Amino acid sequence: MPDTIWLPDLARFEGPKYLALTHALRDAVRSGDLAKGDRLPPVRDLAWRLGMTPGTVARAYQIVTQEGILEAAVGRGTFVAATRPKFGAQQALLPEPPAPSRTEARSDGGPVDLRSPQLPDVGQNAAIGAIFARFAAEAEFDYLGYPGLKRDGTLRAAYADWLADRDLGAVTGDDIVLTQGGQNGLGLALQCCLKGPRPQVMLEELAYPGFRHAARLNRAEVVPVALDAAGLSPVALDEVCRRTDARIVCVTTEAQNPTTVRMPVHRRAEIVAVARRHDLQIIEDDCYSVGQASAPSLRSLAPERTWHVNSISKSLAAGLRFGGIVCPGGQGEYARLAAQHSYFGLARPIADLMLALFTSGEAARLRDAAQAVLERRLELTLNALGTRDIAWQKGLAFLWLRLPIGWRASTFMREAESAGVLVRSADEYALVDSHAPNAIRIAIDGRSPEPDFIRALDTMARLLRTPPGDLPV
């Protein structure tokens, strides 16, 4: 059978070349320019005619094949298999938007949990169910074999596109290792970096507890580094490097957890200068960022030594346990080999699901819808507590409240819990021998009904107005 003469006009489509080609393939099948059974040009021929690399064409063919539009026959070529995609970028995964009531769980009269951010259900469960239903109906999957080092290449490329709103420097799918969420990413990055019988890891003196848990599981001693108003102190970092053997530093730049500080660009450059002076490996935690970041990441400023950890847990769905590490240049394959030895890579159903969410555009739509709910809850929080000493960022799902005179964090937590509100004390973020400020972290809960959330805010506002000496006996 001769090849179909087909040369698309990619100028009509925006985005990377491979995505433009996938859009062109879908349009050609829908319009009838490519009919069922037509054999497509070989990858190298089409690449030469379009002026792109064979890898770019192969990537587009692979995506559209996974959608069921094309099929590849060994030794025969690639053919049009269907006249519409099973789940494509131009086809909605859901028959209609979810009802507004899906954004909230029903009230059960229990406490409102503001310890960790909770995403609203804006259709994630329905979209996930629709994709798995399509998989089951088509029965075109085979999950009997182990995930392989090369099998997830298309998903890694799609995840690189998902992260394109951040300044990470030059990044391709080859620089990425996929992980089972951000915590797994932190642990894997440490496994790739730690050396010697008694390794040490430097952490911010107030830090996400998962950092120290990951360090200890990897038999590493934790060394605190002081913070100031701009984030991790480069002077303190330099001093710790001079008096210890620690050569790994874990740091948050976009949203310091728990203080919400966004590190200014000049401070990022200072941290990089210290890292290069002492030959440090940097693990950059960016799991809380949502939306476009205008400042360059440490991965952008120091691509030769930065392991940038990200996940979808705070933006799309925590239960999927999906994330990744943007590795230092040239270290992607090494990290993927470490992942293979550690957990054999992602479960293949999750990998297929995430590829469908990314390439269909559903992931971005659901992220934006969830963010709109969280922004509304953030506005409610600021209206209730904004006159207090509170730090926050637009788009960030937690706030940092410095308590007024008369309150201690532990006492406030107990009183709030008694009144049906759960929050976290600064003590939970302080390293051993580090000073814990008199403050609490308040997370945004997008799951509880809005009246319950408002009630929790009113409860905290009342407590702040009535410190222990004025509380009724």
Which of 55-59, 62-66, 129-133 is the most confident on average?
129-133
- What mean pLDDT comes out for the span 371-375? 95
pLDDT value at position 2?
Answer: 60
- Using CA atoms in the order 155, 158, 164, 168, what is the torsion angle rounded to 10 degrees? 30
Sign of the alpha-carbon dihedral angle for 290, 291, 294, 297: positive
- Residue 86 reports pLDDT greater than 50: no
pLDDT tens-digit map of 144-200: 888 877 789 999 999 999 999 899 999 999 999 999 999 999 999 999 999 888 899
d(CA 190, CA 248): 8
Q: Give the CATH architecture of domain 10-80.
A: Orthogonal Bundle (1.10)
∠ at Cα 178 (176, 184), nearest 5°?
A: 120
- The radius of gyration of the chain's CA atoms, rounded to the nearest angstrom, is 25
| C-alpha 383 chain-centroid distance | 28
pLDDT of residue 82: 65
Whether residue 284 contacts residue 253, with contact meaning beta carbons closer than 8 Å, is answered with yes
Residue 92 pLDDT > 80, yes or no? no
- Determine the pLDDT at residue 83: 56
**Highest mean pLDDT out of 48-57, 206-215, 297-306:** 297-306
The stretch 23-43 carries a mean pLDDT of: 87
Question: What pLDDT shows up at residue 163?
Answer: 94
Kindly indicate the confidence band of residue 348, based on its pLDDT and cuts at 50, 70 and 90.
Answer: very high
Phi and psi for 171 in degrees, rounded to 5? -135, 135
One CATH from 3.50.90.10, 3.40.50.10490, 3.40.640.10, 3.50.50.60 for 153-346: 3.40.640.10
Cβ atoms within 10 A of the Cβ of 284, count? Answer: 27
Weakest-pLDDT range from 43-57, 72-86, 247-261: 72-86
How much is the pLDDT for 102? Answer: 46
Average pLDDT score over residue span 459-465: 96
pLDDT at 93 over 60: no
Q: For the chain, which residues make up each domain, given as ranges?
A: 10-80, 92-144+360-473, 153-346
Domain 92-144+360-473: CATH superfamily is: Aspartate Aminotransferase, domain 1 (3.90.1150.10)
Q: Copy the structure tokens of residue 257.
A: 């957890």
Across the range 26-46, mean pLDDT stands at: 87
**175: which DSSP letter?**
G
Spell out the residues 6+ positions from residue 16 whose beta carbon is closer than 8 angstroms to its own: 161
Q: Do residues 360 and 87 touch, judged by C-beta distance below 8 A?
A: yes
Model pLDDT, residue 105: 56
